[in-house]
Amino acid sequence: MPTVSMTVNGRPATGEVEGRTLLVQFLRDQLRLTGTHVGCDTSQCGACVVHVDGRSVKSCTILAVQAQGCEVTTIEGLAAADGTLHPMQAAFREHHGLQCGFCTPGMVMSAVELARDNAGLTEAQVREGLEGNLCRCTGYHNIVKAVLAGAEAMQGQRPAAAE
C-alpha cells in the first residue's frame, strides 16, 4: 500500500492508504478528524469541503495520494490554538448560520475561501459562491448573513491567518 504524507492543520500526517482511498476517508478514518463530513459520496453536497493548498476542495473527489505533500486545512484547523474561533466560525455561531450543523463545516470552509478571495462580498456573490454546498434544514438566509459578517470580520487579516 502506498504511504501518503501531507501537512494537516499545521502538523505532519503520514499513513498507509489503498490507492483508491479518498482524502475524506483518510482524514476521518486514519487521522480521526471527523469534523469533515461525508454527506452524499457524489460531490453534490459540499459537507466534505477542506482546503488543499489554500483552495476549497470537496475531499470526496480527491484521492488521499493526490494530496501527497500538500497543506490540508480542515474545520478543526481553523480555530486558533487557544480555541478562539476563526472569524467565520464565530459569525456562523453569532448569526445562527446553522441548524442541525451537518453542512456547517463545509459551508464554513467554502465561505472562508470566498471571503478571502472577494473583497466587499455581496449577498448575490455569497449565494452564488455557496452553490456547491447544500443545507437541507435552513432557507440559507442566516447562512448568507453569517458569511457576510464573517467576511467583514476577516477584512484586514493576511490570507495565511484566514485559514
pLDDT above 70 covers a percentage of the chain that reads 95
Q: Which tens digit of pLDDT belongs to each residue from 16-52?
A: 999 999 999 999 999 999 999 998 878 889 999 999 9
Q: Return the SS3 of 52.
A: strand
Q: Which domains does the chain have, with CATH numbers?
A: 3-77 (3.10.20.30), 87-157 (1.10.150.120)
Q: Which residues of 95-127 are buried (b: 16+ CB within 10 A; e: fewer)?
A: bebbeeebbbbbbbbbbbbbbbeeeebeeebbe
The predicted-structure confidence for 110-119, as pLDDT tens digits, reads as follows: 999 999 999 8
Mean pLDDT, to the nearest integer, of 49-59?
Answer: 96
Model pTM score: 0.89
Above 50 in pLDDT, residue 159?
A: no
Report how far residue 107's alpha carbon sits from residue 143's, in angstroms, rounded to the nearest whole number.
8
What pLDDT does 160 receive? 35
